[in-house]
Chain A
Amino acid sequence: MALKLRAATAQGTTRRRASSSLARREELYGWLFASPWIVGFLLFTAGPMLASFYLGFTEYSIANPPKWVGTANYEQALLGKDAQFWPSLGRTFLYAGMIVPIGLAGSLLIAVLLNQKLRAVALFRTLFFLPSLVPIVASAVLWQWLFQPDFGAINGLLALVGIKGPLWLSDSRSALPSLMVIALWGTIGGSTMIIFLAGLQGVPTELHEAASIDGAGSVQRFFRITLPLLTPTIFFNVVIGLIAALKVFEVALVATRGGPNFSTWFFIVHLYQTAFQNIEMGYASALAGVFFVIVVALTAVNVHLSRRWVYYEGEERQ
């Protein structure tokens, strides 16, 4: 605390005497301390991205050096010569298109529930959060058994009410929805929900009190006060959730191995198979390039659209 006192008196003089040599030293220290990240970025992000961009125009199977093939890889992908390219992309979009809105609505619902003054709220929060802590490999293994058609718990429960359950993961019609269930179980109560909860707790209570004096019911208050104030949080979760959904891979590889009959063959599964099973590094790099463009484009679209519906406090609304 003596330190702090001295600091207070010394502060003024040091700030005024900021000489150029001091600034230069600060510059040096800044670079020096930030360098672990800078080097890491160059080595493990920027460098690989450039290499990937180059490799996307080559044919490369590791055994032989990369052979330049121009845009052949991109043509192969985009012009339908790769039978799984468009289907896997469409499937990934379908998956993301389902799981992002359902997941967000579910997370928001749970956050709203936990934001009521519930008894044992800490217990409830823990119960909802638990599934998100289970590693995806483990939850895929767990659900594989729950979905097991002959002896699994889900068909067992359905049998109680007289329904003969489907084959779930073993049927190409139900495999994709089943994977969505697994993924939703692992994400709805997780960090998205916690971020919503924090957002809800940031909504000033005065606004709610004022509105209810004016006769607004709780539903009206939710849609007119809470939701608009929550739009920045929703926007954040949409961006993060969409990217996470497009990357879907593990759950499919472990629970269905992309099957049956390619019904859960997602884009990253296709990329993995191409690169690390077929050892077509050039073509797989082109796939990675396509994926990068999709992620950047969708994020840009999200940011652009957000101007229409995201409301920041202190901002005028048209």
Chain B
Amino acid sequence: MTVRAMDRASMGSPAVSPRRTGQVTGRVALHLFTALLALIFTAPFFFSISTSLKSVTELHIFPPIMWPSSPQPYNYVRVFEVVPYGLFYMNTVIIAVTATIGNVLCAAIAAYGFARFRWRGRELCFLILLSTLVLPEEVVIIPKFLMFHIIPEMLFGYSWINTWWPLILPSWIGGGAFNVFLLRQFLMQLPRDLDEAATIDGAGPFRILWSILLPLTQPALATVAIFSFLAHWRDFIHPLIYLNSREKFPLSLGLRWFQQLPLEASEPREHLLMAAALLMALPCIVLFFTMQRYFVRGIVMSGIKG
């Protein structure tokens, strides 16, 4: 490093001192190292995209072909023909969107209660809320399953197992502790003068929340919406235990079902499996790109504040 630095210095750009040149070499090394790491992180994407574009004959060759000689984008269409991937997509969108709306509405209302009103038990409730943030869902997954099986059967005569209710309803009752926490932190930052002025103008608490505070909370609401949408999009364990008929599967279960389909020896389908997996990941990545600013800010808020 130093040799090269001195080399460059002696080659003569008089304005640059040897020390500066050393720093330049250091910076180049830093960039190279970071780029190498980034390459390792991105390589799995490259190989799976490459596989997803291969023809059947190119799949089972060793060593593997880096990039298909004639890429087959039609593989991505084939996925929708071989398995009901369109249906899985639809199901996922319906579940994720309905649950997300519930999460945002519910969490906003609850956060307002925590951020703006003084009530007995508030501190205790907030402490409980914080502790549920680290409570693994797996601890209550069995009784929740039993509850969704038994209680609807008692009330309506049929179990909610193999329906979407258990996937959506908890979002509409509760809103998610993390979401409530995040929105409370945002609401606390808004000046109280806003509420007081609106009260004097005759606005009730619901109106204050809806027409004054929520419009100012938009970045936080967007964060909650993205987090919640992604969480439901990626959710695996809940659909896994609640759903058993294929036509109700979201993508997570559909992809696993595709993966486990008995293999007919004559037709390899790894290229389609790769395409299917990428198709499942794609909306998450697109969402990230379009909402990046909110996203990063939201993660930081959740980790640092409070």
A residues contacting B by CB (< 8 A) are: 3-4, 6-8, 10-11, 14, 23, 26-27, 29-41, 43-45, 47-49, 51-52, 55, 62, 110, 113-114, 116, 118-119, 124, 126-131, 133-139, 141-146, 148, 150-153, 155-156, 159-160, 185, 188-189, 191, 194-195, 198-199, 202, 233, 236-237, 239-240, 243, 246-247, 249-250, 253-254, 268, 271-272, 275-276, 281, 284-285, 288, 291-292, 295, 299
Q: Check A291–B255 contact: CB distance below 8 A.
A: no
A124 and B63 alpha carbons, distance in the complex (Å) = 30
A230 and B209 alpha carbons, distance in the complex (Å) = 36
**Is B182 interfacial (CB-CB < 8 Å)?**
no
Mark each residue of chain B from 16 to 45: 1 if its CB lies under 8 Å from any CB of chain A, else 0: 000000000000001101110110011111
A13 and B289 alpha carbons, distance in the complex (Å) = 49
Closest 4 CB pairs of A and B: A40-B174, A33-B113, A30-B119, A30-B117
A37 and B117 in contact, given A45-B135, A128-B38, A151-B60 (Cβ under 8 angstroms): no
Q: List 9 A-B contacts (CB under 8 A).
A: A7-B197, A35-B110, A38-B110, A113-B34, A156-B64, A236-B303, A268-B138, A291-B136, A295-B135
A48 and B147 alpha carbons, distance in the complex (Å) = 8
Distance from A304 Cβ to chain B, minimum over Cβ atoms (Å): 15
A292 and B304 alpha carbons, distance in the complex (Å) = 26
Q: Which residue of the partner chain, among A49, A124, A137, A141, contacts B139 with CB atoms under 8 Å?
A: A49
Q: Check A131–B139 contact: CB distance below 8 A.
A: no
Distance from A123 Cβ to chain B, minimum over Cβ atoms (Å): 8
- Nearest chain-B residue to A31 (Cβ)? B119
Determine which residue in B43, B114, B146, B296 has the highest number of CB atoms from chain A within 10 A of its CB, and name it.
Answer: B146
Q: Check B280–A195 contact: CB distance below 8 A.
A: no
- Nearest chain-B residue to A192 (Cβ)? B303
Distance from A195 Cβ to chain B, minimum over Cβ atoms (Å): 4
A239 and B134 in contact, given A11-B193, A37-B174 (Cβ under 8 angstroms): yes
Q: Check B300–A281 contact: CB distance below 8 A.
A: no
Q: Check B299–A34 contact: CB distance below 8 A.
A: no
Q: Which residue of the partner chain, among B64, B234, B281, contacts A151 with CB atoms under 8 Å?
A: B64
A8 and B116 alpha carbons, distance in the complex (Å) = 18
What interface size band does chain B fall in? 35 or more
Among B90-122, those with CB < 8 Å from A are 106-107, 109-110, 112-114, 116-120, 122
Q: Check A45–B125 contact: CB distance below 8 A.
A: no
Q: Which residue of the partner chain, among A26, A118, A194, contacts B300 with CB atoms under 8 Å?
A: A194
Interface 9-mer from B75-83, B215-223, B270-278 = B270-278
Q: Check A142–B174 contact: CB distance below 8 A.
A: no
Distance from A187 Cβ to chain B, minimum over Cβ atoms (Å): 12
**Residues of the A chain whose Cβ atoms lie less than 8 Å from the Cβ of B63:** 156, 159-160
Distance from B130 Cβ to chain A, minimum over Cβ atoms (Å): 12
Q: Check B38–A41 contact: CB distance below 8 A.
A: no
A77 and B256 alpha carbons, distance in the complex (Å) = 30
**Is B247 interfacial (CB-CB < 8 Å)?**
no
**Is B233 interfacial (CB-CB < 8 Å)?**
yes
A110 and B33 alpha carbons, distance in the complex (Å) = 11
A36 and B140 alpha carbons, distance in the complex (Å) = 19
Q: Which residue of the partner chain, among B110, B236, B259, contacts A34 with CB atoms under 8 Å?
A: B110
**Is B141 interfacial (CB-CB < 8 Å)?**
yes
Q: Check A11–B288 contact: CB distance below 8 A.
A: no
Distance from A191 Cβ to chain B, minimum over Cβ atoms (Å): 5
B residues contacting A by CB (< 8 A) are: 30-31, 33-35, 37-38, 41-45, 47-48, 51, 59-64, 106-107, 109-110, 112-114, 116-120, 122, 125, 128-129, 132, 134-136, 138-147, 149, 170, 173-175, 177, 180, 193-194, 196-201, 205, 209, 230, 233-234, 236-237, 240-241, 251-252, 255-256, 259, 270, 273-274, 276-278, 280-281, 284-285, 288-289, 292, 296, 299-300, 303-304
Q: Check B141–A288 contact: CB distance below 8 A.
A: yes
A94 and B120 alpha carbons, distance in the complex (Å) = 44
Determine which residue in B41, B62, B125, B270 has the highest number of CB atoms from chain A within 10 A of its CB, and name it.
Answer: B41
Q: Which residue of the partner chain, among B146, B193, B281, contacts A62 with CB atoms under 8 Å?
A: B146
Q: Which residue of the partner chain, among B31, B42, B274, contacts A119 with CB atoms under 8 Å?
A: B31
**Residues of the A chain whose Cβ atoms lie less than 8 Å from the Cβ of B62:** 150-151, 155-156, 159
Q: Which residue of the partner chain, among A35, A47, A114, contacts B113 with CB atoms under 8 Å?
A: A35
Q: Check B42–A127 contact: CB distance below 8 A.
A: yes
Q: Check B110–A36 contact: CB distance below 8 A.
A: yes
- Nearest chain-A residue to B289 (Cβ)? A126
**Residues of the A chain whose Cβ atoms lie less than 8 Å from the Cβ of B209:** 33
Q: Check A36–B273 contact: CB distance below 8 A.
A: no
A243 and B136 alpha carbons, distance in the complex (Å) = 7
Distance from B196 Cβ to chain A, minimum over Cβ atoms (Å): 5
A27 and B147 in contact, given A137-B236, A159-B63, A199-B304 (Cβ under 8 angstroms): no
Q: Check A110–B147 contact: CB distance below 8 A.
A: no
**Residues of the A chain whose Cβ atoms lie less than 8 Å from the Cβ of B198:** 3
A32 and B119 alpha carbons, distance in the complex (Å) = 10
